[in-house]
Structure 1
Amino acid sequence: MPTVNDYDVLAEGYDAANESGLANAYYERPATLALAGEVTGRQILDAGCGSGPLLAELRDRGAVVTGVDASAGMLGLARRRLGDTVELRVADLRDPLPFGDGMFDDVVASLVLHYLEDWGPTLAEFRRVLTPGGRLIVSVDHPFAIFAMHRMSGNRVDYQATYQWSEEWTMGGRTVPMSFWNRPLRAMTDAFTAAGFRISVISEPHPVEAARDLFPEEFEALSTAPSFLFFVLTVD
């Protein structure tokens, strides 16, 4: 990932926010798990696994899990969470993955592709390591949400363009500039099909109901406006 996205600096703070925050713990992670469904015995690669909360959930549901991430700091937290029985490797998703062809039944890319300018090589690698009939489960920033945010702030961005944007994240007393790429929905679906995937599901789920009492104001906002966008893609 770009060096500006310094998750090594934010690792402890991001892990704490990810563990119990509305967006991750009550929205993105449950939605991804729901799309994954029954995973017992499935070989799953979490590409961009961070500190490992999704890996832990998948393992606890019976999957055989492997994780890669560009941040050694985040993988250190994942190792602390998962112990020594899960394979974890430092890997930049812009480079070839350190795995053989057809090794995984599923690849999960949870809130990671929006860090990449060019999805082509990464999606080609995901397809290569998937077995025939395998699935790629993706979540990304919703392009409509990012576009609306910029327009409301007076930034005259072009929805049809793929453009880079940044913001500062402060977590655990540390502040880091984070950089992302926004692209229209058309560019996303074109990239998936060009890489040889068939789009099975496009999902805009609600946060889980348990969050309503815990985060009443944020729950209302997350339930009535776009935030993340989810895909299930298959290899024929």
Structure 2
Amino acid sequence: MATFNDYDTYASAYDADIEDNVYNALYERPATLALVGDVAGRKVLDAGCGSGALSQALAAAGAAVTGIDLSTGLLAIARRRLGPDVPLIRADLNQQLPIRSSAFDAVVASLVMHYVHDWSRPLTEFRRVLVPGGYVVISTHHPFVDFRLAGQGDYLGTYEFTEEWVKSGETFPMKFWHRPLHAMFDAFTAAGFTVERISEPRPGAGVRDRSPEHFERLSREAPFIFFTLRVREDASASWRG
């Protein structure tokens, strides 16, 4: 029987692939960092930090980064990449996070929410660990694109679907959750956030220079969708009691 989303087994192959590829390194990561903005001197939680590539970029920009991830294999690679000074915590986004309240200025969840069935727990936890005025940046599968990949002919439903990845010559059996755009917004609102920005970015020069074919495709179809969320003032006041 296939083991899905087995990042412990495929940690090295996955890390080698995303280090400098088009979709992660040249498209998603720069778009996420642009939305995060100036992080110099800010405390940032990298929720779903994986092997630490985004955490490394955030730390280089002056952030005090903490990374959390479920995969011990990916966290081991992140430790080697980031050194001893960046806190790394094994944590499940489906559970309460082992982090004190009001600890971070920003939370970044890069390409992780599509693994989660119920968004209410992680979003509520993101709100809890943010300081007043803090914000969240999320990148996730674009619902229109993964609805086509799922092949179920159902855009409006929320359901799990499977896919096979090939990374560094190894095949990954994967499972993801599709949810329509309105369900995403419903989850954000229920958790006490407002959507400050939504982005479907076009590719930059790095993609064009590496692969004109990918540049053309990404200029017509966004595989990921990006959100900047801000805690609603009424929700923040209610949370603080």
Coarse TM-score class (shorter-chain normalised): over 0.9
2:193 pairs, out of 187, 192, 197, with 197
TM-score scaled by length of structure 2: 0.92
Per-residue deviation, 1:173: 4.0
Alignment of 1:162 with 2:158, yes or no, is yes
2:229 pairs, out of 212, 230, 233, with 233
- Inter-partner Cα distance in structure 1 for 2:36 and 2:162: 30
Per-residue deviation, 1:156: 3.8
Corresponding residue SS for 1:95: coil
Task: Give a deviation string over 1:94-149, Cα, whole Å, max 9, x none.
Answer: 01101011000000000000001100111111110011110010000000111233
TM-score scaled by length of structure 1: 0.94
- Inter-partner Cα distance in structure 1 for 2:146 and 2:172: 19
- Inter-partner Cα distance in structure 1 for 2:79 and 2:93: 20
Alignment of 1:76 with 2:72, yes or no, is no
Structure with bigger RCO (C-alpha 8 Å, 6+ apart): 1
- Inter-partner Cα distance in structure 1 for 2:206 and 2:174: 30
Corresponding residue SS for 2:24: helix
Letter of the structure 2 residue corresponding to residue 4 of structure 1: F
Structure 1 runs not aligned, ≥5 long: none
Percent of aligned pairs with the same residue? 56
- Inter-partner Cα distance in structure 1 for 2:108 and 2:55: 10
1:172 pairs, out of 161, 168, 171, with 168
Count of residues in correspondence between the two structures: 230
Match of 2:220 in 1: 224
Structure 2 runs not aligned, ≥5 long: 234-241
Instruction: Kindly report structure 1 stretches of 4+ aligned residues shifted beyond 6 Å.
Output: none
The answer on whether the counterparts of 2:17 and 2:168 sit within 8 Å (CA) in structure 1 is no
Moved more, 162-171 or 29-38: 162-171
- Inter-partner Cα distance in structure 1 for 2:45 and 2:156: 31
The answer on whether the counterparts of 1:144 and 1:226 sit within 8 Å (CA) in structure 2 is no
- Inter-partner Cα distance in structure 2 for 1:207 and 1:89: 32
Match of 1:60 in 2: 60
